């Protein structure tokens, strides 16, 4: 039986030597459980649906169905670390919110760095779930529960309880959730109007935070997990007044 702290993973690559390298690296690292090795995206798809791994090490250039097409096809993809001999897919990969992009051949040190990023992502996700506050009756929030965002030609539902913060990135907004992030063409003003004012607050020209995800407020900064954000002078009075409504 695996430990509850184990990272349950799949190795997906059409080349046996490449799978062997990853498996060897993982054999030296405690807290890892390799659920299965998959030779193509079709085997991986079945394994993901049946075994529900935490993390996949995923090659891109596989016959018939690429690793990126596999990620795009999954409704709830696991965390993914790309392992590939090709550099040109990095941007497309990060648009799919992969944890890291390893260019073959990669060293054990670089591999461990990527794995540590995955651990951090899982820890942040767990903290966010654990700190979702119940209502007075212990039930879910009432009122608006989700929003829809336009992203890469699609309309995607985002549950409000999963949103950590929103960041302005040029003409786009990055909506960061416990499960990943969404990049949508939208103004901050429109997002402020879209989100419930008693649960989300704009604290800076570039940031909106979810009050339920705030861990600490200290020295003009708001902390959510390992991330911190500045509180702009213009937004401080409204933010602090909202915080006071939740203070004992």
Residue 141 within any structural domain of the chain: no
Is the same domain home to 24 and 118?
A: yes
Res 171 pLDDT > 70: yes
Of 103, 130, 157, the one marking the end of a domain is 130
CATH number at residue 36: 3.40.50.2300
Of 77, 105, 130, the one marking the end of a domain is 130
Distance (Å, whole) CA 51 – CA 35 = 8
Residue 173 within any structural domain of the chain: yes
Q: Quick one: pLDDT band at residue 246, thresholds 50, 70, 90?
A: confident
Residue 162 within any structural domain of the chain: yes
Residue 139 within any structural domain of the chain: no
Supply φ then ψ for residue 34, to 5 degrees: -85, 110
Q: What is the 3-state secondary structure (H, E, C) of the chain?
A: CCCCCCEEEEEECCCHHHHHHHHHHHHCCCCEEEEEEECCHHHHHHHHHHHCCCEEEECCCCCCCCHHHHHHHCCCCCEEEEEECCCCCHHHHHHCCCCEEEECCCCHHHHHHHHHHHHHHHHHHHHHHHCCCCCCCCCCCCCCCEEEEEECCEEEEEEHHHEEEEEEECCEEEEEECCEEEEEECCHHHHHHHCCCCCEEEEECCEEEEHHHCCEEECCEEEECCEEEECCCCCHHHHHHHHHCCCC
Q: What is the mean pLDDT of residues 70-88?
A: 90
Per-residue pLDDT at 87 = 86
Is the same domain home to 162 and 226?
A: yes
What domain range is 211 assigned to? 146-244
Is the same domain home to 102 and 195?
A: no
Per-residue pLDDT at 229 = 94
Structure tokens given for 185: 């063409």
Residue 17 within any structural domain of the chain: yes
Is the same domain home to 207 and 178?
A: yes
Is the same domain home to 74 and 108?
A: yes
Structure tokens given for 163: 């949103």
Of 157, 110, 161, the closest CA to residue 134 belongs to 161
15 contacts: CB under 8 Å, gap ≥ 6 = 59
CATH number at residue 157: 2.40.50.1020
Is the same domain home to 187 and 230?
A: yes
Residue 56 within any structural domain of the chain: yes
Is the same domain home to 108 and 42?
A: yes
Distance (Å, whole) CA 83 – CA 72 = 17
pLDDT tens-place string over residues 115-169:
998 888 887 655 444 444 443 333 334 457 888 898 888 888 899 999 999 999 9
Is the same domain home to 105 and 12?
A: yes
Distance (Å, whole) CA 96 – CA 71 = 7
Of 106, 130, 154, the one marking the end of a domain is 130
Per the structure, how many domains does the chain have? 2
First to last CA, the chain: 44
Is the same domain home to 152 and 97?
A: no
Per-residue pLDDT at 139 = 34
Contact criterion met (CB below 8 Å) for 90 and 44: no
Q: What is the 3-state secondary structure (H, E, C) of 50-92?
A: HHCCCEEEECCCCCCCCHHHHHHHCCCCCEEEEEECCCCCHHH
**Average model confidence (pLDDT) for the chain?**
86
Residue 137 within any structural domain of the chain: no
pLDDT tens-place string over residues 84-128:
998 888 878 877 878 889 999 999 999 999 999 888 888 765 544
């Amino acid at each position: 039986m695996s430990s509850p702290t184990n990272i349950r993973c799949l190795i997906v690559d059409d080349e046996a030597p490449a799978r062997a390298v990853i498996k060897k690296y993982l054999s030296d690292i405690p807290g890892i459980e390799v659920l299965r090795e998959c030779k193509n995206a079709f085997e991986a798809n079945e394994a993901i649906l049946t075994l529900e791994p935490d993390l996949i090490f995923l090659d891109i250039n596989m016959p018939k169905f690429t690793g990126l097409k596999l990620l795009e096809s999954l409704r709830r993809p696991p965390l993914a670390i790309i392992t590939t001999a090709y550099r040109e897919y990095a941007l497309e990969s990060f648009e799919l919110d992969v944890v890291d992009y390893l260019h073959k051949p990669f060293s054990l040190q670089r591999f461990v760095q990527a794995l540590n990023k995955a651990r951090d992502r899982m820890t942040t996700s767990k903290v966010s779930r654990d700190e979702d506050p119940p209502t007075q009756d212990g039930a879910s929030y009432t009122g608006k529960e989700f929003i829809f965002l336009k992203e890469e030609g699609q309309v995607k539902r985002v549950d409000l309880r999963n949103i950590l913060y929103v960041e302005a990135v040029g003409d786009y907004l990055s909506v960061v959730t416990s499960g990943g992030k969404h990049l949508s063409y939208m103004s901050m003003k429109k997002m402020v109007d879209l989100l419930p004012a008693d649960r989300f607050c704009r604290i800076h020209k570039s940031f909106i935070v979810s009050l339920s995800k705030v861990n600490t407020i200290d020295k003009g900064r708001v902390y959510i997990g390992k991330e911190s954000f500045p509180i702009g002078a213009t937004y401080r009075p409204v933010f602090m007044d909202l915080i006071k409504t939740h203070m004992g």
